[in-house]
């Protein structure tokens, strides 16, 4: 395969298709021969084939389809008399889940056959669901409209078609009382992204279900996810903008940070006073202290924006660390979400 690709890539891009079709028969013949040697059952199956060379032809078609050079399915071009055993439904669903959830999406043509065997037409849009427990996955898959079930790094996941706005309501009803996280709606070829962020969200939620537990939606935590994508960048951001506060005592620094964030979010001293539950005059006094620390930079809109990001990020990161340190929580890298059930002090997206 490597030799074939090297021969293709050594040619100008416009000649790739011609070279591929020229080299493919040789590659298919070698693959069939290797399969014949390695798997006696495969060799016996070839011996029963009605015509010589049909296995090589089928291999060529499969390679063309998987590489995206053939749009129509193999079945439409299959020679008369060639019998191919269809993939079992359970196996086809596993293959389809792996293809959609993998980091490198396959072309639609390569998904056609497993989707047909699985009885699961690939939707235009879908959401990933990650469960805290695998026990009820099959029943949930049926309740959610015949979702695909699979595992990613030990986590039980579902891929659910998302044809309309009613999907969220169905998910909330089906998953109520269970520890679960639902990714954002994405095109089918971007399912891995929905899975990644749903897993990140679940890692910070309650580990067990309960009557008061509701599924968490990535859609409700977009700002938080963006802010906490990279812990190293958070440290760099806070070091750049919040460094002047480090010269104060911890109590002074905490009080001024809290006041500055409330002021930036609210847009004025009266609004900040309501959030902090103090007198507006107290807020104005603290703001004069803040202006002494940061100087005229506070008048710059970009500076205020980055200060707000730094303050939110630091507060969210501190809460994530405290949440992860609780007994019974699994340790792991911060992946970018606010701990579920935490009070609204971090106030992202109005939460």
Q: To 5 degrees, how large is the angle CA 243–CA 249–CA 253? A: 55
Identify which of 282, 99, 61, 91 has the alpha carbon closest to the alpha carbon of residue 188: 99
Mean pLDDT, range 324-350, rounded to an integer: 41
pLDDT of residue 338: 34
Which letter does DSSP use for residue 247 in this model?
Answer: G
* CATH 1.10.10 domain position(s) in the chain: 229-334
pLDDT of residue 86: 59
The strand pairing partners of 180, in sequence order, are 131
Q: In sequence order, what are the residues at sequence separation of 6 or more whose Cβ sits closer than 8 angstroms to the Cβ of residue 190?
A: 105
pLDDT of residue 334: 40
Any idea which of 77-81, 111-115, 236-240 has the lowest mean pLDDT? 77-81
Give the rounded percent of residues in the chain with a pLDDT score beyond 70. Answer: 72
3-state secondary structure of 159: strand
Q: In sequence order, what are the residues at sequence separation of 6 or more whose Cβ sits closer than 8 angstroms to the Cβ of residue 108?
A: 122
pLDDT at position 55 over 90: no
pLDDT of residue 144: 78
pLDDT of residue 185: 92
pLDDT band at 54 (very low <50, low <70, confident <90, very high): low
Which range has highest mean pLDDT (66-70, 109-113, 206-210, 323-327)?
109-113
DSSP letter for each residue of 54-75: HHHHHHHHHHHHHTT---S-HH
pLDDT band at 345 (very low <50, low <70, confident <90, very high): very low
Q: What is the dotted CATH code of the domain comprising 229-334?
A: 1.10.10
Mean pLDDT, range 307-320, rounded to an integer: 83
Query: Strand 148-152 and strand 155-161: pairing?
Result: antiparallel
pLDDT band at 83 (very low <50, low <70, confident <90, very high): very low
pLDDT at position 93 over 70: yes
Whole-number Å distance between alpha carbons of 135 and 152 = 16
Identify which of 201, 283, 194 has the alpha carbon closest to the alpha carbon of residue 274: 283
Q: Kindly provide the b/e burial profile for residues 144-157, where b requires at least 16 CB atoms within 10 angstroms of the residue's own CB.
A: beebbbbebeebbb
Give 201-226 pLDDT, tens digit per residue: 887 765 555 667 788 899 988 887 77
Whole-number Å distance between alpha carbons of 297 and 291 = 9
Mean pLDDT, range 93-122, rounded to an integer: 84
State the CB neighbour count (10 A cutoff) for residue 134: 13
Give 144-180 pLDDT, tens digit per residue: 777 899 888 888 899 998 877 678 888 888 888 888 8
The strand pairing partners of 156, in sequence order, are 131, 151
pLDDT at position 101 over 60: yes
Give the rounded percent of residues in the chain with a pLDDT score beyond 90. Answer: 9
What is the pTM for the complete model shown?
0.59
The residue whose two tokens read 């309650």 is 206
- Mean residue pLDDT of the chain comes to 76
pLDDT at position 342 over 50: no
Q: To 5 degrees, how large is the angle CA 164–CA 170–CA 172? A: 125
3-state secondary structure of 180: strand
pLDDT of residue 207: 54
Query: Strand 186-187 and strand 148-152: pairing?
Result: unpaired
Which tops the pLDDT comparison, 86 or 247?
247
Q: In the chain, which residue ranges form alpha helices assigned H by DSSP?
A: 2-9, 16-38, 40-47, 54-66, 74-77, 89-101, 108-118, 137-143, 166-175, 191-202, 222-227, 231-242, 250-266, 269-276, 280-294, 301-324
């Amino acid at each position: 395969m490597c030799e074939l690709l090297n021969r293709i890539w050594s040619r100008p891009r416009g000649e790739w298709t011609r070279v591929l079709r020229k080299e493919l028969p040789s590659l298919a013949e070698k693959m069939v021969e290797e399969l014949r040697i390695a798997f006696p059952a495969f060799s016996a199956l070839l011996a029963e084939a009605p015509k010589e060379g049909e296995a090589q032809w089928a291999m060529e078609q499969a390679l063309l389809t998987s590489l995206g050079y053939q749009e129509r399915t193999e079945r439409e071009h299959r020679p008369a008399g060639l019998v191919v055993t269809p993939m079992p439904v359970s196996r086809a669903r596993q293959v389809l889940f792996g293809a959609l959830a993998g980091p490198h999406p396959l072309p639609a043509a390569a998904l056609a056959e497993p989707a047909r065997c699985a009885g699961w037409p690939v939707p235009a849009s879908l959401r990933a669901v990650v469960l805290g427990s695998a026990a009820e996955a099959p029943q949930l898959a049926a309740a959610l409209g015949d979702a695909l079930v699979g595992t990613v790094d030990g986590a039980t996941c579902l891929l659910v078609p998302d044809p309309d706005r009613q999907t969220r309501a169905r998910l909330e009803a089906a998953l109520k009382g269970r520890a679960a996280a639902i990714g954002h709606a994405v095109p089918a070829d971007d399912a891995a992204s929905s899975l990644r962020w749903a897993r990140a969200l679940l890692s910070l939620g309650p580990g067990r279900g309960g009557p008061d537990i509701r599924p968490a939606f990535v859609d409700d935590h977009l700002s938080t996810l963006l802010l906490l994508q990279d812990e190293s960048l958070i440290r760099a951001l806070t070091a750049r903008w919040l460094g002047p506060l480090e010269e104060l005592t911890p109590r002074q620094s905490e009080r001024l940070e809290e006041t500055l964030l409330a002021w930036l979010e609210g847009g004025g001293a009266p609004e900040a006073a309501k959030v902090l539950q103090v007198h507006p005059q107290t807020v104005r006094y603290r703001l004069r202290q803040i202006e002494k620390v940061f100087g005229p930079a506070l008048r710059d809109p970009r500076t205020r924006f980055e200060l707000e990001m730094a303050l939110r990020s630091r507060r969210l990161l501190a809460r994530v660390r405290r949440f992860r340190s609780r007994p019974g929580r699994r340790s792991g890298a911060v992946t970018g979400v606010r701990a579920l059930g935490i009070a609204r002090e971090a106030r992202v997206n109005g939460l």
